[in-house]
Structure 1
């Protein structure tokens, strides 16, 4: 089906409402999946079979049935030869392996050793906050890799300076996707450029190459750039908004890095189990090997993919045709082997060593569970045609100057409702190109930029977004604490971006940036004033 109109919005809106009201992600997504299935299928048995088909399809590759039954699904699986669906399975394996690596680094004392080493060089809390920011800028090759690696690497130091896990998760999430979406030599850049290449071929656009078009979108991607700039100002001026202030005050005053009412984050290690006199190489050796091996594998599998397509082996082609999932799994497996070796050479108590491995697996189970439910929700939303319906709301008779801001808002809601930036890219970039070619060709690049920016905003505020889930997991934060505390920052960034895209459509990028910078400065001054008044009243 193409879409079911406004009815297709019921499951995502229900999921978002329940998540915000109840703060219980599993129950909220479960209810949304059931409602979506009852809408998508005519019979109750088909609805449950459809849910079963979707969940099994995350792990086994087979032909999905339009009218599923349990027996039909099993027959389809048998006909396909029980072939593994490697993408989702690889991501789950990557999470488990990285969870074990992080736990072993903590157990061996490597994290504490890094905290001592960095503490001798980074003397302030502000400096500790900038560590994940700069790491996020450097590790731009992939958002999954960024979110989990930066959080785990920075956590020992930010813990030492009593930075709440919610604040760390915000920094990680606000660098991972925004930096990936403006870097051409990233998995995101390659994917977007690939979509643009097919769009240009279909519409006979020859004014510039897909690579050039991507580069031209960067200075117009207001949300990504403002998010990064706003984050720098937040750290510099120590601005905490809404519930983030509550988390930060609790961390500073009582050294409670997470909400004590919610208990420890799953997989937290008992401090009594930690080895004494850890060495910094016990942190850096596994992580360096992990980074180097993963990047090498991304390039290697990309070269193989480009060759199989008969294309020249260039950096861009390698990034476009790389096998991200396989590279992450093998890279993390190599990193785990190194982590096991450096931990065992320190002669740990084997019982405690086993508990550390178990804690590493346990730490990723909530993220894996939420991801499975999120993937299932996204599949149901896809069946209902939610994304197609949102795209159909764009009217080609609208004044061209309004197109960038409209496509930004449509992309934002699509990213929020579907929980996927990449899906929104694939759906709205071709539609925006068709509208621009028909209505006003000069709006092509601004509309491309609006799609990319809106998708990132929707992704940032969506509790079913995989990058949101992984940023919380990598930072050791409760998932919903991260979602709620990040929301005000993302909304402020989005409001300024909306104004920027409105001005862009009528007056151009330079005028838009002048207004955007002024607005951002005003926002920072106002927030500083509010923080000072709050601090004064509390004293």
Structure 2
């Protein structure tokens, strides 16, 4: 097809997935897949083309470097001062069983709806120790916080995702500024994957549907052996000497202020900065952390998030390569001629999910799909709101499955597991919700 490299555009993604499964690593497969892509585009000049893209992305991704670094500093400060211990002690009064711990993690992820990063951070940091005490495997924990974050942020119109999706609807349908929000709200009941995924996470946690495959093995390991981490990672995160529990306020004050500032400013960076400053103000006078250690946390925080940042930036470089190969137009144009009004929602969901999974670019792929799918819905007399919901649901599906995407990467970092651990355990757990969603979109597409 003109402007694309046809089926060759799928090769880099295929290389990434296969190599990741074989090597059980994330950064190297992303780099290899991207090099393969630029070899297709630039032939013998592929290394120069790759480096040009990398240099460009390093400049454009400065925001993510700072955000992940601030995440690292905040988490490191909480951990060093044992600040979460008070909240853990309080939480264990309710969450004294594995099912209750799972429910608490689910609720906390929903409460912090503003942004998927925000949800993962808040639910992850506050509940990890509670999950450990109740012998929940870190793989299940990572799957839960990532799934809830991916679903919740697209179901709340006031989230950052909601604002972005509203803008895309306005541009695609030629609406006035502000009118897209009303359309998004009408489409929320049809954002089916997000609803289904939230329900499935609860069903898994309550063991109404039992974990299966590698996740079942991980859960049995945690329950029977008390080993919440994969065996080869357990030595890297050996239990430190038991620290004296601290006041619950040492966690609540920085976290509540972080939430408040983020909500008011609509900027997570400002919330994190305020949260970190409050950690310094609270912990140093109480001697929970030494003065020198507090400032060492700045470097340690960035250091501990280096792999996370490397994975995300490598994924962005791969996305640039996919854009140059014309991956998204190739996939969409391959099926657009065979779409009917009734089949449009399910096809829109599947395309958006696939593109999100293979590129790790959920907002970027939404920007590709909305201008194509919404006018197509109007011309085919398909239900517009089911179609809008399907595209948004596809973004959530991509976010919850892409093992090298930013949401999964952050969830794995907070859970202290590798992205490939999620690939082995968490990804299969998303398959049943996807199947249910596809069936529902087939029904809704032809009935409504």
Deviation at 1:275, TM superposition (A): 4.3
Alignment match, 2:137: 164
Distance, in Å, in 2 between the alignment partners of 1:391 and 1:426 is: 13
Unaligned runs of 5+ in 1: 61-84, 299-326, 509-539
Task: Return closer, same or farther for 1:438/1:31 CA change in 2, 3 Å cut-off.
Answer: same
Distance, in Å, in 2 between the alignment partners of 1:450 and 1:373 is: 28
CA contact (8 A) 1:132 1:172 kept: yes
Unaligned runs of 5+ in 2: none
Task: Return closer, same or farther for 1:269/1:344 CA change in 2, 3 Å cut-off.
Answer: farther
Distance, in Å, in 2 between the alignment partners of 1:97 and 1:476 is: 17
Alignment match, 1:102: 75
CA contact (8 A) 2:173 2:375 kept: no
Deviation at 1:356, TM superposition (A): 5.8
Does the alignment pair 1:140 with 2:80?
no
1:138-172 deviations in Å (ceiling 9; x for gaps)? 11111122122221121121122222111111111
Alignment match, 1:458: 398
Residue number among 350, 357, 362 corresponding to 2:303 in the alignment: 362
Which has the higher relative contact order, 1 or 2, with Cα contacts under 8 A spaced 6 or more apart? 2
Distance, in Å, in 1 between the alignment partners of 2:389 and 2:235 is: 40
Deviation at 1:129, TM superposition (A): 1.3
Alignment match, 1:335: 275
SS at match of 2:394: helix
Distance, in Å, in 2 between the alignment partners of 1:253 and 1:40 is: 51
More moved, 142-151 vs 187-196: 142-151
Distance, in Å, in 1 between the alignment partners of 2:339 and 2:308 is: 42
Deviation at 1:133, TM superposition (A): 0.8
CA contact (8 A) 1:115 1:160 kept: no
More moved, 96-105 vs 396-405: 396-405
Alignment match, 1:374: 315
Alignment match, 1:55: 54
Deviation at 1:363, TM superposition (A): 2.7
Does the alignment pair 1:293 with 2:293?
no
Alignment match, 1:70: none
Distance, in Å, in 2 between the alignment partners of 1:329 and 1:58 is: 20
Alignment match, 2:378: 437
Deviation at 1:242, TM superposition (A): 1.2
CA contact (8 A) 1:106 1:112 kept: no
Does the alignment pair 1:124 with 2:97?
yes
1:105-125 deviations in Å (ceiling 9; x for gaps)? 122122222211221233322
Task: Return closer, same or farther for 1:277/1:467 CA change in 2, 3 Å cut-off.
Answer: closer
Task: Return closer, same or farther for 1:188/1:418 CA change in 2, 3 Å cut-off.
Answer: same
Distance, in Å, in 2 between the alignment partners of 1:350 and 1:395 is: 61
1:63-96 deviations in Å (ceiling 9; x for gaps)? xxxxxxxxxxxxxxxxxxxxxx4xx222221212
Alignment match, 2:341: 400
CA contact (8 A) 1:401 1:506 kept: yes
Task: Return closer, same or farther for 1:436/1:336 CA change in 2, 3 Å cut-off.
Answer: same
1:6-41 deviations in Å (ceiling 9; x for gaps)? 111111121112212321112211210110111121
CA contact (8 A) 2:403 2:422 kept: no
In the TM superposition, 1:275-290 aligns within 5 A as: 275-290=243-258
Structure index of larger Rg = 1
Distance, in Å, in 1 between the alignment partners of 2:268 and 2:179 is: 30
SS at match of 1:399: coil
CA contact (8 A) 1:91 1:329 kept: no
Alignment match, 1:36: 37
SS at match of 2:358: helix
Residue number among 144, 150, 158 corresponding to 1:185 in the alignment: 158
Distance, in Å, in 1 between the alignment partners of 2:180 and 2:218 is: 44
Deviation at 1:209, TM superposition (A): 4.6
Task: Return closer, same or farther for 1:210/1:349 CA change in 2, 3 Å cut-off.
Answer: closer
Alignment match, 2:350: 409
Distance, in Å, in 1 between the alignment partners of 2:39 and 2:427 is: 31
Task: Return closer, same or farther for 1:353/1:188 CA change in 2, 3 Å cut-off.
Answer: closer
Q: CA RMSD in A?
A: 2.3
Count of equivalent residues: 444
SS at match of 2:336: coil
Deviation at 1:358, TM superposition (A): 5.4
CA contact (8 A) 1:178 1:228 kept: yes
SS at match of 2:145: helix
Q: TM-score, normalised by structure 2?
A: 0.93
Distance, in Å, in 1 between the alignment partners of 2:290 and 2:179 is: 59
CA contact (8 A) 1:446 1:505 kept: yes
Q: TM-score, normalised by structure 1?
A: 0.78
Deviation at 1:502, TM superposition (A): 1.0
Residue number among 361, 369, 388 corresponding to 1:428 in the alignment: 369
